[in-house]
Chains A and B, each alone.
Chain A
Amino acid sequence: MPLQTQGIVLKNNKIQSLYFLLEIDCPSIATLIKPGQFVMLKIYGSQDPLLRRPFSLFKKDLGRHRQKEKRGRFSILYKKVGRGTQKMTELEKGARVDIIGPLGNGFTSPPPLSFRNAILIGGGVGIVSLYPLAEALEAGRKLSVFIGGKTKTDILCLKDFKKLNSNIFVATEDGSLGHQGTVIDLFLSKREKLWREGPSPIYSSGPLGMLKGLARALGSKRFLCEASFEARMACGFGACWGCVIKTKDPRTPYQRVCKEGPVFNLGKIIWGDR
């Protein structure tokens, strides 16, 4: 059950180029978070921009405060792209943020125990939502993590994934780090080898173009592939029907990324819309 509350900024640091890590003290929301969920965030008291912005949840820490209700912080990793995120970079320690969350349906985890492997594919800031999933999947499974971006400064969370028990593959479109090309190309080049190691669910998160590429590459073959989608949102909690994506559901083809998603079975999506 989501709630609307306030959080206190603990840290707001630039980690590389346009990317920032925002850590928020907010026990009531932190304790509810599941991998793949998101929050709608707004600077407390600010009317500009008008709408909240959606952010994937990165790490959570339920701490060890003496009082149980004071335990709980979470972080988000965001990219400075427009007016809203520009203002967010100016948030200082102690500032208040207005939060609605946790929202949406996260990843289905853990997958059936028969899967000893899992493949994670993230593009740009999309990789963030795969990190809490990787933490949940790590025990007893072999994780293959594909991280992609336009250039090396777009490759995020490398250190974090290295701390987990995982094989990491990096791709940049300009070749400045790892394989030159898209992360989907890199995944395809390794696919046969990974398949030989046994059945593996695929979890993916990134821009629409990347997910479309993945869906095309996997074709009509039956596969378990969950993908977390990005969309422009107004409310984030299912009221406005602004963030929809087209699916194969005959009754309600346009489903809400914020409510039925942000994680969908990739095979359920109809492509072709912008």
Chain B
Amino acid sequence: MTIGKLKLKNPVMVASGTFGFGEEYQDFMELDRLGAIIPKGISLKPMVGNLPPRIFETEGGILNSIGLQNPGLHQFIKDKLPFLTRIRTHLIVNFFGNTQKEYIELAGCLNEVPGISGLEMNISCPNVKQGGIAFCSDPRMTYRLVRAVRKSTQLPLIVKLSPNVTDIDSLAKIAEEEGADAVSLVNTFKAMAINIHSRKPELGNIIGGLSGPAIKPIALRMVWEVSQRVKIPVIGMGGIVKAEDAIEFILAGASAIQIGTANLVNPQTSTEVIQGIKKYLAENKIHHVRRLIGLFRP
């Protein structure tokens, strides 16, 4: 399994924002077994995050509005990177900016940091220079952003796509044309919940992102559509809780998958999925997971 120059020992990664900085999981699982680890998204400056409550459980899903709380690039490199680089797997750093300039600066800095295997850029954030609309919601803004970031780094570059757009396939196509090595999808779905007794929002931020099994069928459909449209690898995610879910995404065309919300419920999900995929391949006499990609035939 390769993504750009990146060779993965297995197709199972852990999704940014659901895996802390890796250290939170060391008591529960063997981190070395992961195909890749993607820690919490990093911005140039520290972010304090959103007003609580930040979590609300819905039927089969979780609403969250963490607000991308993170210690910022400098503290990340100082406090979090030493542990992460000791894990014997690929470290893919997820990052985001408030402006195109910040994305470029981050990509440039991270390019010089030893121990990082690749970058995943989150394009779902608001562009403060353009009235706060999300970078991904305007194809021209996406195109300019990916092009600029691509020029700032030699590291394998994954563009993480938002499902909150009219046409996710075109967004993936733009990422491919501007030199991304892979696309990962989907980020959370914008959503909300109201408490009917207090008549107030369940989240301090009112709107949050929905993840978990509830979104799986939609994410799967998007992964299938995108993988038909682009030639670069597609990394699928959205509600994967078990090996069978991961296999569905691979059959739909994903070259690798990410475990997200399920990490929070069962911290051993990712290693169980790795085992489950192996078992499925053996039972079906398939020699390599590569043979499974896009095997879905409608």
Contact = CB atoms under 8 A, between A and B. Distances in A.
Interface of A: 1-4, 42, 47-52, 98, 100, 231-235, 237-246, 251-254, 259, 273-274
Q: Which 9 A-B pairs have the closest CB atoms?
A: A242-B55, A239-B20, A235-B264, A239-B24, A238-B24, A234-B264, A242-B54, A234-B55, A232-B55
Contact of A273 (B24, B52, B66, B212): B52
B213 interface: yes
Given A50-B62, A50-B265, A273 B57 contact: no
B53 A274 contact: yes
B56 interface: yes
A44 to B, nearest CB: 11
B267 A237 contact: yes
Interface string B17-48: 11110001101100000000000100000101
Nearest to A254: B49
Contact of B55 (A47, A100, A243, A245): A243
A241 B265 contact: no
Given A3-B28, A234-B62, A274-B204, A239 B18 contact: yes
B89 interface: no
Contacts of A234: 55, 57, 62, 64, 264
Contacts of A47: 60, 213, 241
A273 B51 CA distance: 7
12 contacts: A2-B27, A2-B28, A50-B261, A51-B264, A233-B55, A237-B267, A239-B18, A239-B263, A240-B264, A241-B66, A273-B204, A274-B200
B123 to A, nearest CB: 21
A3 B265 CA distance: 13
A252 B52 CA distance: 14
Contacts of B53: 231-232, 274
Nearest to A84: B57
Given A240-B17, A245-B52, 19 more contacts: A1-B27, A2-B28, A4-B28, A50-B62, A50-B212, A233-B55, A234-B62, A235-B267, A237-B267, A239-B20, A239-B263, A241-B49, A242-B54, A242-B64, A244-B69, A251-B46, A252-B48, A254-B48, A254-B69
Contact of B52 (A2, A240, A274): A274
